[in-house]
Amino acid sequence: MSEQTRLLVLGRQGSGKGTQSMKLAEALGITHVSTGDLFRREVARNSALGRKVSTYLDKGALVPDDLVIDVVMNQTADLAGWVLDGFPRTMAQGQALVDALDDSGVDLAIELDVPVHQVVGRLSLRRVCDGCGAISVAVADDDSIQLCNACGGHVGRRPDDTVEAIELRLTSYDRLTGPLLIWLDSLGLLATVDGMGTADEVFQRLLAVIAERLVLSVETVDAPTSG
Ligand code: ADP
Ligand code: ZN
């Protein structure tokens, strides 16, 4: 594991991939790149990109592949190590990433596994700070707005955490991200980690899997050929 580690974190909406990706980036000294956060920032700034993507985000629909691929390539071009949170999500995005990286490649793709019926409950209680992006869990499923302890920003429901948008996002996860997971697995890049439990419990599982898988891949490369 090093500052050049390149990780993908995948998982259903509400699986905790945002929280875990942030923790991983901090622990490994790599950059956290979240396409969802990036798009939300652009929408808030009302930039040209933000105006292009806002209708997709509101509906819970995926932003077109070419646009997302372009944004991610720009973001990662000068970085040695990163954890990509929310990208790739389709076969086309996965293919584009692998092609662009060539030999340097991706070290590991991790899927946080949380059953559908669990994530729906989590999403209804998920609250996000519009200032610093901190994610918290509400005590009740209501629309009261709180102030963020860290930055004083407004902590509320994400605009796309509505019943309709959640349903669309979960459906496209199975339909579009499902085949990508199978493909990543066929390349030997996928590790599935149980996403149930507290954030700390899940994080310990992630660290264990990363240590195991990354050490293993280094040994496989370095092992002297016998025979
Ligand atoms: P979630 O996983 O809960 O949908 P994200 O914050 O990861 O939340 O993404 C929010 C929205 O941003 C998505 O619903 C989609 O509109 C857009 N988006 C993010 N990443 C991608 C991607 N890789 N491809 C297409 N659209 C994306
Ligand atoms: Zn905040």
Q: Is 20 in the pocket of ligand 1 (CB under 6 A)?
A: no
Catalytic residues: 17, 89, 126, 158, 169
- Let me know if residue 100 belongs to a domain: yes
- Given this model, what pLDDT does residue 134 score? 85
- Let me know if residue 94 belongs to a domain: yes
Between CA 164 and CA 13 the distance in angstroms is: 13
- Given this model, what pLDDT does residue 139 score? 87
Q: Which ligand is nearest to the CA of 148?
A: 2
> Ligand 1 centroid to 33 CA: how many Å?
12
Q: Is 71 in the pocket of ligand 1 (CB under 6 A)?
A: no
- Given this model, what pLDDT does residue 215 score? 76
Cβ neighbours around 112 below 10 Å, total: 24
- Given this model, what pLDDT does residue 218 score? 60
Phi-psi group of 127: left, alpha or beta (phi > 0 → left; psi -120 to 50 → alpha; rest → beta): beta
Tell me the pTM.
0.88
> Ligand 1 centroid to 73 CA: how many Å?
16
Nearest residue by C-alpha to atom 9 in ligand 1: 36
> Ligand 1 centroid to 35 CA: how many Å?
6
- Give ion ligand 2 contacts, CB < 5 A: 129, 131-132, 134, 148, 150-151, 153
Q: Is 127 in the pocket of ligand 1 (CB under 6 A)?
A: no
- Given this model, what pLDDT does residue 220 score? 55
Between CA 6 and CA 105 the distance in angstroms is: 8
- Given this model, what pLDDT does residue 227 score? 43
Nearest residue by C-alpha to atom 8 in ligand 1: 36
- What is the extent of the structural domain holding 16? 2-114+163-221
Query: Residue 170 belongs to a domain with what CATH number?
Result: 3.40.50.300
Number of H helices, E strands in the chain: 9, 9
- Given this model, what pLDDT does residue 178 score? 96
> Ligand 1 centroid to 86 CA: how many Å?
6
- Given this model, what pLDDT does residue 133 score? 83
- Given this model, what pLDDT does residue 143 score? 83
**What is the chain's pLDDT, residue by residue, as a tens digit (227 residues)?**
567 899 999 999 999 999 999 999 999 999 999 999 999 999 989 999 999 999 999 999 999 999 999 999 999 988 989 999 999 999 999 999 998 887 678 999 999 999 998 998 889 899 999 888 888 889 888 888 889 999 999 999 988 888 888 999 999 999 999 999 999 999 999 999 999 999 999 999 999 999 999 876 665 555 555 44
- Let me know if residue 155 belongs to a domain: no
- Let me know if residue 90 belongs to a domain: yes
Between CA 105 and CA 107 the distance in angstroms is: 7
Total structural domains in the chain? 1
- Let me know if residue 167 belongs to a domain: yes
- Let me know if residue 25 belongs to a domain: yes
- Given this model, what pLDDT does residue 97 score? 94
- Let me know if residue 26 belongs to a domain: yes
- Let me know if residue 201 belongs to a domain: yes
Nearest to 98 by CA among 222, 187, 221, 214: 187
